[in-house]
Amino acid sequence: MPESAKFERIGIIGVGVVGGALRAFLEKDGLRPLLYDPGLGLGSLADVDSADLVFACVPTPYRAGTGFDADALYETVAGLSGSKTIVIKSTVLPGTTDGLQDQYPQHRLLFNPEFLRESSAVEDFLRPDRQIVGFARQWHRPAAEAVLRLLPRAPYEAVVPSRSAELIKYATNSFLALKVIFGNELFDLSRALGIEYEDVRDGLAADLRVGPSHLDVHDAGYRGYGGKCLPKDTMALLDLARELEAPLRLLEAAHEVNLSLRGESILDDLAKGGAPASEVLAA
């Protein structure tokens, strides 16, 4: 980690799946990050406030009535004093990092999307297929490049405007959601034809342009896409697209199919993303 010397103290706020994987990586290289996660009883905001580089890994759930909720992230940034490099690893809608930079010009706000599977978070963090850091201001590009070199190296690396990095994260999860729904509909067509879906799936996945991920129709014991990320992220992106009058018609259709497959269980998926079940919305 040759660039770590640029940052005397590193802090992590939110030590869940993403923050925990980041912690494991830093500690593996002999660093002892300052930690703060009130839900886990770890550290204090005052401890992390002494860091000059802070990673924000707090929940950004999807809530009824308001949709995407970045309140925890805004509270996190508001609680940090001085002049710091703050790297947002929470999934945030395009424009969020820019907005925070406008509000807190004393800091350098960056965005570093994470592409982890919860079941293998540490392994995925250590061996990423891509590493992307976004900057909200062009003059913060050197800080973004330093953070990029601090993190695990990847075959694809890029420093881009934060809005681009934010959309890359949502585009990734939304494309995977589309792939899940396509596999589910192929499953139904295969049954109607009296053939084995597994034969179709394996032959399709053998095409290197397609690959095997997200084509197991009964993955996790249910049909459709679920879990902490895909439902909340697709719904948040759909809201943004409607607001901008740039509808994502294909993703809208996939969302409707997923609702028909998942029904009320979509509420549990959104709750896993950080919102209480009483405050989530399925449509």
| Amino acid symbol at 188 | D
Query: Which residues pair with residue 159 across a beta bridge?
Result: 133
Terminal-to-terminal C-alpha distance of the chain: 45
* Angle at 121 (CA atoms; ends 115, 124), nearest 5 degrees: 60
Active site residues: 229
Strand runs labelled E in 38-122: 53-56, 62-63, 67-68, 85-88, 108-111
d(CA 18, CA 274): 13
d(CA 35, CA 40): 10
Give strand pairing partners of 54: 11, 86
Identify the burial level of 38 via C-beta atoms within 10 angstroms of its C-beta, where 0-12 means exposed, 13-18 middle and 19 or more buried: exposed
CA distance 30 to 4: 11
Nearest 5 degrees, angle CA 181-CA 184-CA 189? 125
Cα separation of 10 and 30, whole Å?
12
How far, in Å, CA of 39 to CA of 137, rounded? 33
